[in-house]
Structure formats: structure tokens, C-alpha cells
Amino acid sequence: MSGPAAPGRTIALVGLSGVGKSATGRILAARLGRPLFDTDTLVIEAAGRSVAEIFSAHGEARFRELEAAALRSACDRGPCVIATGGGVVLRADNRALLRERAYIVWLDAPTPTLLARLRAHDEPRPLLAGDYAARLDQLRAERARLYENLADLRISTDQIAPEAICERIVSALAGPA
Ligand code: S3P
């Protein structure tokens, strides 16, 4: 982890599905008076299809291209809050763009917490098809280093409300008291 907190910078939330990126992003954007962009939502708007439909009709590679374009367009819209899809860190160009343009917050929580949150919203996640817990553990193993190397700040969101997560982010942005 590295990088100073910078008040005028875009803030990007990264982490696995179910960790609270969208809920935290909404509250953080309102609190900072900035627009919120959600890369999944931008992809859905651009493609006119759901994420699950893009995966099944065109495959993951096409989804990742649309996701990279969505990230670029969010980064180009000035200081904002970006709730990224969990796999945005997989591409080196996405990681470079995030490093250059954003203060990156990695939201993390244990798999049972992610499962409980995902069950509460029954939107299909194609990469979690089958055994959700096993898939989340696998994605965590594949991605933890990427999130860790990228993040300026890591927050465990286990048993913490999104408002409290935002508090921590805002404090980090303000720097040491
Ligand atoms: C994915 C996470 C999803 C969505 C897509 C792929 C991933 O977003 O982008 O299903 O690779 O982890 P959330 O992190 O918002 O669930």
C-alpha cells in the first residue's frame, strides 16, 4: 500500500462481490458531493444488456473490454467516486489507470460475510455460478495480491456499516490530524 491521500482525487472502491462497494460508493459520493459511477452500471448502459447476458452471449473477454471502457470513461469525468466490478483489477491497463487517477480503497470481508450480502440481493453473478463460497475463496486467492498491491487504503467491512466505512475513507483523505 502506498500513496498519499489527496482530497481532490477520484476515489475508486475495489474488492470482491458483496463487499459493499456500491452501498459505500453511494453514501461516499453524496457525502463528498461528487458523482458516483458504477462500472457494472456503465457496462449495462453501453451494452443494453445485463452483466449475466453479456457473459453468456459474448463471454468474459468481451465483458472485460466493456468494463475497461467504462472505467476509462468514469476516470475521465473528473473527481468522482467509482464503484468498480470485482474483476477490474485483472487487467494491467485498468490497474495503471487507477493508480494514475484515483485514490484506491480496497474493501475486504471474509467469505461468509460476502455470501450473506450476496444472498440478500439476488442479482446473478456469472463468475460465482455454482458453489458461491468456493468461487469467492478462489477469486480471493487469485486477486488478493492485486487488490493489496493497488490499494492506498484497506478497510475490513466486516460488521461495519457503510456510513462508518465512509467515515474512515474521509478521515484518510483528510490526512493525519
Ligand atoms: C465480477 C464482479 C461483478 C461483475 C461481474 C464480474 C468479478 O461486480 O463486474 O459479474 O469478476 O468479480 P461486483 O463486484 O459489483 O459484484
pLDDT digits (tens, 9 = 90+) for 96-110: 999 999 999 999 999
Separation CA 158–CA 13 (nearest Å): 16
82, 86, 87, 93 alpha-carbon torsion, rounded to 10°:
20
pLDDT band (50, 70, 90) for residue 128: confident
Nearest CA to ligand 1 atom 2: 86
* Lowest-confidence pick of 7-11, 41-45, 59-63, 151-155: 7-11
Average the pLDDT over each of 2-11, 31-40, 131-140, 166-175 and give the range with the smallest value. 2-11
* CA count, 13 A, side-chain hemisphere, 174: 9
State mean pLDDT over 66-93: 97
What's the pLDDT score for residue 3? 47
Instruction: State if residue 17 touches ligand 1 by the CB under 6 angstroms criterion.
Output: yes
Q: pLDDT at residue 47 above 70?
A: yes
Is there an atom of ligand 1 within 6 Å of 60 CB?
A: no
Reported confidence tier of residue 119, pLDDT bands at 50, 70, 90: confident
Cβ(127) to ligand 1 under 6 A? yes
Helix (H, G, I), strand (E, B) or coil at 135: helix
Give the residue among 16, 9, 71, 80 at the shortest CA–CA distance from 40: 71
Burial class (CB in 10 A: 0-12, 13-18, 19+), 96: exposed
**Whose alpha carbon is nearest atom 15 of ligand 1?**
85
Residue 125 Cα to ligand 1 middle (Å): 7
Q: Is residue 123's pLDDT more than 80?
A: no
- The sign of the torsion formed by the CA atoms of 169, 170, 175, 176 equals negative
pLDDT of residue 6: 57
Packing angle, helices 21-32 and 162-174, rounded to 10? 50
pLDDT reading at 1 higher than 70: no
Q: Quick check: 2 pLDDT over 60?
A: no
pTM, rounded to two decimals: 0.94
Report whether residue 87 contacts ligand 1, using a CB cutoff of 6 Å: yes
- Of 43, 30, 33, 39, the residue nearest 12 (C-alpha): 39
For range 115-120, the mean pLDDT: 88
Length of the chain equals 177
> How many whole angstroms separate alpha carbon 26 and alpha carbon 39?
13
Ligand 1 atom at shortest distance from the alpha carbon of 40: 9
User: CA 158 → CA 105, 111, 112, 115, distances in Å?
Assistant: 15, 10, 10, 12
User: What average pLDDT is seen over the chain?
Assistant: 93
CA-closest candidate to residue 91, choices 74, 70, 67: 67
